[in-house]
Amino acid sequence: MTSVRRGPALPPVPRLDTRARAARRGRLLRSVLLTVVTAGPLLVVAWLLLSSPLLRLERVEVSGASRLSAEEVVAAADAGLGTPLARVDTAAVRRRVAALAPVGEVEITRSWPRTLRVVVQERQPVAAVDAGDGQWRLVDATGISFASVSSPPHRLARLRSSDPIHSRSSATPPAGNATRAAVEVLTALPEPLLARVRTVSAPTPASVTLELRGGRTVVWGTSGQTARKAAVVEALLRRKGSTVDVTSPSVAVVR
């Protein structure tokens, strides 16, 4: 009889420890609960900001506008009443309001829960140009026209330039060199001298001339050395003569 030799018996496969499995389930449950507890409030906040009717835009408040009406600014802002306030594109609103001709600067802020605030800083005129049709075009420090009026503000200098005066728009070219020279002189003058200027003329950028109230004339020349020229003019205006020439302030003359 042939005998069959048997190998050593294999050890029994250990069973998963019940307590270890329970511990893993506990850790998984705690992780899920922690996620829910952490994410839940965030989801609620996100819903309130982006979808809730409680935080939708209901009002656009405008301040700082005088030439423009609040209605004109609101219409240009086109902020989208009824849109969740958090979703309002404030950069786009700013661009649309800034495109209005009289607007120099604009600030847009959200005022929770349902208001958008638009603070406008309008352009200030430094001179007025006779349009020849009974209207005067107001020119700012850049030499660009931003508004038309039937009568210019009291004591605002009248501008005469060889350049065409452009009205402000998205496609407005920069002001001509002569116009820029004229407004550079005006904006740099000390207030006491500026108050005496009736007309600024600029046939060329190098031939700016000021006609003062009372009939005297200041031949200014280029727009450079404004502080020095202004000091010389104020000193020479104490002398007799109808014309003060400070084209070269070191050899200024009165005649």
Q: What is the pLDDT of residue 20?
A: 73
Question: 113 and 147: one domain?
Answer: no
Of 225, 141, 145, residue with least CA distance to 183: 141
Is there a domain that residue 43 lies in? no
Q: What is the pLDDT of residue 47?
A: 47
Strands 253-254, 243-245: pairing is antiparallel
Is there a domain that residue 42 lies in? no
Question: 143 and 228: one domain?
Answer: yes
Burial-class residue 67 by CB neighbours within 10 Å (0-12, 13-18, 19+).
Answer: middle
Q: Tell me the one-letter amino acid at 138.
A: L
- Among the three residues 122, 147, 179, which one is the final residue of a domain in this structure? 122
Question: 151 and 219: one domain?
Answer: yes
Is there a domain that residue 183 lies in? yes
Question: 220 and 160: one domain?
Answer: yes
Question: 154 and 189: one domain?
Answer: yes
Question: 114 and 143: one domain?
Answer: no
Question: 114 and 148: one domain?
Answer: no
Q: What is the pLDDT of residue 65?
A: 96
Cis peptide leading into 8, omega within 30 of 0? Answer: no
Is there a domain that residue 181 lies in? yes
For residue 86, the domain's CATH number is: 3.10.20.310
Q: What is the pLDDT of residue 176?
A: 95
Three-class secondary structure assignment of the chain: CCCCCCCCCCCCCCCCCHHHHHHHHHHHHHHHHHHHHHHHHHHHHHHHHHCCHHHECCEEEEECCCCCCHHHHHHHHCCCCCCEHHHCCHHHHHHHHHCCCCEEEEEEEEECCCEEEEEEEECCCCEEEECCCCCEEEECCCCCEEEEECCCCCCCCEEEECCCCCECCCCCCCCCHHHHHHHHHHHHCCHHHHCCEEEEEECCCCCEEEEECCCCEEEEECCCCHHHHHHHHHHHCCCCCCEEECCCHHHCEEC
Question: 152 and 236: one domain?
Answer: yes
Is there a domain that residue 93 lies in? yes
- Average pLDDT by consecutive 10-residue portion of the chain (255 residues)? 54 60 67 58 51 83 97 97 94 97 97 96 97 95 95 95 90 92 96 96 97 97 94 94 96 94
Q: What is the pLDDT of residue 2?
A: 52
- Among the three residues 122, 148, 164, which one is the final residue of a domain in this structure? 122
Q: What is the pLDDT of residue 15?
A: 53
Domain of residue 162 covers 127-254
What's the structural domain count of the chain? 2
Is there a domain that residue 95 lies in? yes
Is there a domain that residue 173 lies in? yes
Question: 157 and 244: one domain?
Answer: yes
Is there a domain that residue 49 lies in? no
User: What size, in residues, is the chain?
Assistant: 255
Question: 94 and 211: one domain?
Answer: no
Q: What is the pLDDT of residue 55?
A: 86
Question: 112 and 212: one domain?
Answer: no
Of 209, 203, 210, residue with least CA distance to 177: 203
For residue 176, the domain's CATH number is: 3.40.50.11690
Round to whole Å and give the CA distance between 129 and 150: 11
- Among the three residues 103, 122, 141, which one is the final residue of a domain in this structure? 122
Q: Tell me the one-letter amino acid at 204.
A: T
Question: 87 and 196: one domain?
Answer: no
